[in-house]
Structure 1
Amino acid sequence: MSVEPEHPAGPARPVSRRRRFLLVTAVIVSMPLVWLGFMTLRAYFAIHEIEQRADAARVLLRDGEIDAATSEIRAIPAAAHRARAATTSVPWRAAATVPWAGAPFDTIRESTIIVDRIAATVVAPALDGGMLDILGGGGQPGQIIDVEALRAVDPVMTEIARETGAISDDAARIPAAPFPGQVNAARDQLVEQAALLATATAHAADALRVLPAFLGADEPRRYLVVFQTNAESRGTGGLMGGAGMLRIEDGGITFEDSVSNQELPLTAEPIDLGPGFDALYGRYQSTQNWQNANFSPHFPHAARIWRSIWAQHMGEDVDGVIATDPVALSHLLGVVGPVTLGDGETITKDNVVGITLNEAYFRFGDRQLARKAYLQEIAGAVMARVNAYDGPKGPLVRALATAIEEKRILAWSADPDEQAVLGSSIVGGTLPQEKSPYAHVVLNNGAGGKLDYYLERSLEYRAGPCTGDRRESHVTLRLTNTAPALDQYPDYLMGRLTPETQYAGPPGTNRTVISLFATPGARLANTYVNDRRVPLTFTNTLLGHPVFTVVVLTEPGETITVRYDLDEPARAGEATVPVQPLVDDPQVSVDVPDCGAAHAE
């Protein structure tokens, strides 16, 4: 008996051909997708490499490893070109043409083109033009900065600044994808970074135009150097503790004889700094008295006053004014090494702040002349060590940059063209003229003592949403007096020297005048000290910024909270919260929405 199969087998040949056809078709159809995936990975890894190399270069530059940083940076243009090549490939361009869904591919492609332009027309020319060579040394013995090298890179930076301006404009035109996500977030970050780069290179080009002359390339320059004592707070940092003359010629620095502040008169012919300044500080004779010259946080005010007093007393019109403090000296000592004083005492990066701002007052008591001579010896020894330093320039430049970033080195030039550049830079210490959100809390010692060495601060700036033309905001300062509970302090350290500054409290109690320089157009609603509403707050305006002032006492171990409730304009721009350079390193918290172009003026 034969059994028929339930499913007789058909001809095999037609089935095999159909499968092969489908397989080939699938391969052909998927090849562009595979290629697109490959190009996507290639673009991703290239961008990731750029980020890694840029981060590595920043660390190496910070540590003074100029050659290693240069190697990292030199590899960036090739990675940027790979990213551009991947996102301008045929499959990528084809994907970008797909309605709606292709928009992210278009955004990414245009973004990598911008990255490639930055690498090719900014990064590479900067390296080839010798920008990093300035940090690597060179120049003549005794030169802190090679001024001829600065002049050599001036035309390079001018061209780079022109190119970054065009790149920033083109970056702003990159189309955003029609739906939110990481692509648009990356695009927005690139636009922001391109704008920052354009601003930074423009400032750098301006600086290179005037720096050689400022550093004595054409003729020797003489600058009044003011050493600020942060233990007695002032708007720009601290009381003028001493001064000296700095001679700069061809980038080489010589620190000449220092002068105790007690050698300067307490009264001088006043200068006119405008009605806003007079309203705030006129009652303190601030333009006549070096002790009160820097109540204002706007450094050009202090510099012009100090220069005027110096000219009246010493008969010399200096070319400019430079201010620094012991914390900046500690940064420099970390590079050049410790110094040894005449009696064998060693001053290091770790002890210079404590010795100069606190221990010296206990050591010398009321012997002020001896203490001031001691502090001047320290400052002179550090400056001499810096001038004699012949090691790698990178770490020294980084230490200077750190001090400048912390506003512990400020500079003003009597030359209007130079000052126009300095004033707009971080070293200028100026109150900004922009109207974007701003909160600058400034402390001035209200006791004539040196207890601000013990102050610790934290700052918060909060603002509401951008739903209207104005919004509520809150600026909060928490101020802690960490002074130990001693039975007695040296009188000079305690202060309370005049009837106006007499107050009650145990030894170590401090008196602080607190001023908030707020967003232009802001109005004060309330001021609270430890949740208690303060009915009277001094209100003034300086250079367009409303100023709201209260006076507080803090006993040893006490923390007080000062809160300003404001009604301020809803403005475009990132909030700025400057940190006054005192002894502490305060915590700063900012939660202020950027109200965008719709609220720009």
Structure 2
Amino acid sequence: MIRRVLGNRIVQICLVLAVLMIAVLLWLGFSALKVRGDLDDARSEASKARSLALDGDQEAAGQAADAAADKARSASDWSHGIVWSAAASIPWLGDPLQSVQQMSDAVESLATDVLVPSAELASVLNPAELRDGNTLDTAPLAEAEPQLAQVAATSSEIAAQVEAIDPSWLGVVSDAHTQLQEQVDEAAATMTGTHVAAQLVPTMLGGDGPRNYFLAFQTPSEARGTGGLVGGFAILNARNGRVTVPTLGANSTFRDPVRPQIDLGPDYDAIYSSYRPYTDFRNNNLSAHFPDAAKIWIANWKRQSGQQLDGAMALDPIALSYVLKVTGPVTLPDGEKITADNVVPITLSTSYERFRGDSAERKLYLQSIAKAVVDQAVSSGGDTGALLEALGHGVQERRIMIYSTHPDEQRILESTELGHQISDTTAPYLQVAIGNAGGNKLDYYLRRDISYTAGECSGDTRESKVVVKLTNTLDDLTLSDYVIAPNGTVRSMPKGTNLSNVEMLTTKGSVVKEITVDGSSPMRVEQPLNGRPYVATAVQIPPGETVTIELTLEEPTLARGEAVVPIQPLVDDPTVQVDVPVCGE
């Protein structure tokens, strides 16, 4: 009898526990649907708020931001309930619920601490609101800088928090995490970019007094460390938000000084002095470190003109093509139209055949193109946001670079892609730079394939390998000698052969174990540069062929974080593969 009663009690307890478990599961299921719905709505309203703020619609942006905050708070409340929190504490099984809690908190912070204050700054976030014809009203940006600094810092913190969330084993939660990461990264990029603009634009565009800059037009059909040989230049003047181009000249009008006007140090000189980079305009930008070229241009221009410049900038025809996609084509004095589609082949290829050599006529033609595009960019009344997006595309590809002689501004520039400097990071690092050593225009036909792999993080060091494949795609040997023949080199080479100096900057503390070119050991240069190891070798690439350079390194595992691999802006879009395990943070 007692056993029967005890058995019944056990059954009853089990039934009660089963009912409770079912109730808990039903409640969790209902809560999950509610949280998911609220998060979806919050993310949707957040995207709307960001778009409206960028469009300058402060009222609508504020409404959308408030709606996003309400939905995010609701999702956070549901996901932090007693039942949800208890289930989330269960090892492994509760991981998805814990991840959802963290994502709900992140969305709430994004809406409350980033989007709501961003809506109040809508007039600053929309560049069209600041632009009046060819003048930019920089005062609102300067006034909003403290608020932008706070919002930018908060958005970056939220992006880091979301990145640290375990996406969990549940696919739907992992997918939601990926979508949220993209959203918070976009918000952080927008706010950080706007804050950088607020710090730089007012003063650099002459808000505190006139500014003057050297602008180099690089032609990557003949490669240099920063991109390409400088085919022409301009002096830009900025005053109270308005940019003009009072001086425009071909490279031949930039008079080389007899003696160096600056000293970039013994490491730089050990590598480049034989090419006379200080006194030969063609070689001022051999180093991949843009501040080196900028300092030479500024010093040499002062020697030539007496004018002290405030900085230097550089861009290439591919960046100009992005601008023309927004502004539309430009018409030259003879009626020829230069478009986004033809500006690159014209400036980097067909103009050499059209004028058959290094003629003054060709340089004047290229100058007229550059001036027309720059004038249209600074004076066009078109979509300012789209124009900035096009310029941002050029910056992202490292095709637009800026240096400032003002230390505070330069520190900020170096924190962005605009600085285009050899990074000081202690993380795993690879920077491959091609320098044309043949004095021709064959880099228009050069294609690059770069891979960087490393071993695991065990031990004090690990072996890594760099493989660079260079292909010469030239298939027309009837082109002019100016394009395909060696010029200014003592080497005897068949026409169409690309002679490239391949420079590789590697991880701090790394040691070269071996370098080969198509399996053979070449002559090489090893030398420190900008605080990191540098190794270089020259290769000949016949038409239609590929040359493979392999570099084996011993790298310290103390090099922490994600690998940094900046890409030199040439004509091609190189294939880049990076497989470098992260050794700690």
The residue correspondences of 1:223-234 to structure 2 (distance < 5 A) are 223-234=213-224
Could you say which residue in structure 1 is the equivalent of 2:561?
A: 573
Alignment match, 1:469: 460
Asked whether the 8 Å contact 2:123–2:129 carries over to 1, the reply is: no
1:34 aligns with 2:34: no
Structure 1 residue 246 corresponds to structure 2 residue 236? yes
- 1:503 corresponds, among 492, 506, 529, to 492
SS of 1:312's partner is: helix
Whether 1:316 and 2:307 are equivalent positions in the alignment is yes
How big is the shift at 1:579? 1.2
Q: Does 1:483 align with 2:474?
A: yes
**Residue 498 of structure 2 aligns to which amino acid in structure 1?**
N
TM superposition shift of 1:310? 0.8
Match of 2:148 among 143, 152, 157: 157
**In 2, Cα distance between the equivalents of 1:170 and 1:445?**
45
Is 1:113–2:101 an aligned residue pair? Answer: no
Work out whether residues 472 and 568 of structure 1, in 8 Å CA contact, stay in contact via their aligned partners in 2. yes
Distance 1:575 1:440 in 2: 11
Alignment counterpart, residue 306 of structure 1, candidates 286, 297, 319: 297
Counterparts of 1:216 and 1:31, CA distance in 2: 67
Secondary structure at the residue paired with 1:533?
coil
Alignment of 1:151-230 (within 5 A): 151-164=142-155, 205=195, 207-230=197-220
Shift, 1:592, TM fit: 0.9
In the superposition, relative to structure 1, how do residues 22 and 296 fare at CA in structure 2: closer, same or farther (>3 Å)? Answer: closer
Q: How does 1:221-370 map to 2 (within 5 A)?
A: 221-270=211-260, 271-366=262-357, 368-370=359-361
Structure-2 change in CA distance of 1:286 and 1:90 (3 Å):
same
CA-CA distance at 1:495 after TM superposition:
5.0
Contact 1:480 1:557 in 2 (8 A): yes
Instruction: Quote the residue 1:562 is aligned against.
Output: 549
Q: How far apart, CA to CA, are the structure 1 residues paired with 2:546 and 2:325?
A: 33
In structure 1, what is the equivalent of residue 577 of structure 2? 589
Which letter does structure 2 place at the counterpart of 1:257? T
Residue 187 of structure 1: how far off its partner (Å): 7.9
Equivalent residue in structure 1 for 2:75, among 83, 95, 101: 83
Instruction: Decide whether aligned partners of structure 1 residues 382 and 203 sit closer, same or farther in structure 2, where only a CA change above 3 A counts.
Output: closer
Q: Distance in 1 between matches of 2:125 and 2:159?
A: 27
- In structure 2, the CA distance between the partners of 1:392 and 1:77, relative to structure 1 (3 Å rule), is farther
SS at match of 2:363: helix
Q: Which amino acid aligns with 2:534?
A: V
Deviations 1:116-138 (A, max 9, x none): 11221012212222276433444
**Residues 1:193 and 1:138: Cα distance change in structure 2 (over 3 Å):** closer
Q: In structure 1, what is the Cα distance between the partners aligned to 2:370 and 2:157? A: 46
CA distance in 1, matches of 2:70, 2:562: 33
The one-letter amino acid of 2:274's match is: R
Report how far residue 101 of structure 1 moved: 5.0
Matched residue, 2:3? none
Classify 1:478/1:387 alpha carbon distance in 2 versus 1 (closer, same or farther; 3 Å): same
Q: Rate the CA distance shift 1:47–1:399 in 2: closer, same or farther, 3 A.
A: same
Structure-2 residue corresponding to 1:392: 383
The answer on whether the counterparts of 1:463 and 1:592 sit within 8 Å (CA) in structure 2 is: yes
SS class of match (2:422): coil
Of 581-590 and 34-43, more deviation after overlay is shown by 34-43
Asked if structure 2 preserves the Cα contact closer than 8 Å seen for 1:245 and 1:256, the reply is: yes
> Contact 1:154–1:208 (CA<8 Å) still a contact in 2?
yes
Mapped pair 1:520 → 2:508: yes
Residue equivalent to 1:442? 433
Q: State the structure with more CA Rg.
A: 1
Alignment partners' CA distance in 2, 1:202 and 1:123? 14
Inter-partner Cα distance in structure 2 for 1:422 and 1:389: 26
SS at match of 2:122: coil
Moved more, 344-353 or 133-142: 133-142
- 1:473 maps to a residue whose letter is S
| Structure 1 residues 327 and 196, CA gap change in structure 2 (3 angstroms) | closer
- Native 8 Å contact 1:220 1:248 kept in 2: yes
Deviation of residue 565 (structure 1)?
Answer: 1.3
Query: For residues 275-301 of structure 1, what are the alpha-carbon distances to aligned partners after superposition, in whole Å with 9 as ceiling and x for unaligned?
Result: 221111122221222211111111100
Match of 1:416 in 2: 407
Q: What is the CA distance between 1:105 and its match in structure 2?
A: 3.4
Could you tell me which residue of structure 1 aligns to residue 7 of structure 2? none
Deviation, 1:249, is: 2.2
Whether 1:533 aligns to 2:520 is: yes
Indicate the SS of the match to 2:309: coil
Q: Which amino acid aligns with 1:242?
A: G
Cα offset, 1:80, TM superposition: 2.8
After superposition, give the CA deviation of every residue in 1:462-518 in whole Å (9 maximum; x if it has no partner).
Answer: 11111222111111111111112324x323223522343x3222x221110001111
Q: Which runs of 5+ in 2 are unaligned?
A: 1-10
Counterparts of 2:506 and 2:358, CA distance in 1: 41
Asked if 2 retains the 8 angstrom alpha-carbon contact of 1:462 and 1:590, the reply is yes
Q: CA deviation at 1:523?
A: 1.2
Cα deviation, 1:188-247, whole Å, max 9, x if unaligned, reads 998999899879866754552233101211222111111011111001001111111111
2: CA distance, partners of 1:579 / 1:95: 47
Q: Distance in 2 between matches of 1:269 and 1:310?
A: 13
CA distance in 2, matches of 1:535, 1:484: 27
* Cα drift, residue 100 of structure 1: 7.0
Amino acid at match of 1:561: T
Question: What residue in structure 2 maps to residue 4 of structure 1?
Answer: none
Name whichever of 365-374 and 93-102 sits farther off.
93-102
Using the size of structure 1 for normalisation, the TM-score is 0.85
1:533 positional shift: 2.4
Q: Check whether the contact 1:268–1:309 (CA below 8 A) recurs between aligned residues.
A: no
**AA paired with 1:213?**
T
Give distance in 2, aligned partners of 1:65 and 1:208: 18
Which runs of no fewer than 5 residues in structure 1 stay unpaired?
1-18
How far residue 560 of structure 1 moved from its aligned partner, in angstroms, is 1.5
- Structure 1 Cα separation of the partners of residues 94 and 17 of structure 2: 24
Q: What are the superposed Cα offsets for residues 301-331 of structure 1, whole Å, 9 maximum, x if unpaired? A: 0000011111111211111101111111100
Kept in 2: contact 1:268–1:289 (CA 8 A)? no
Tell me whether 478-487 or 195-204 shows the greater mean CA deviation: 195-204
TM-score, structure 2 length as denominator?
0.88
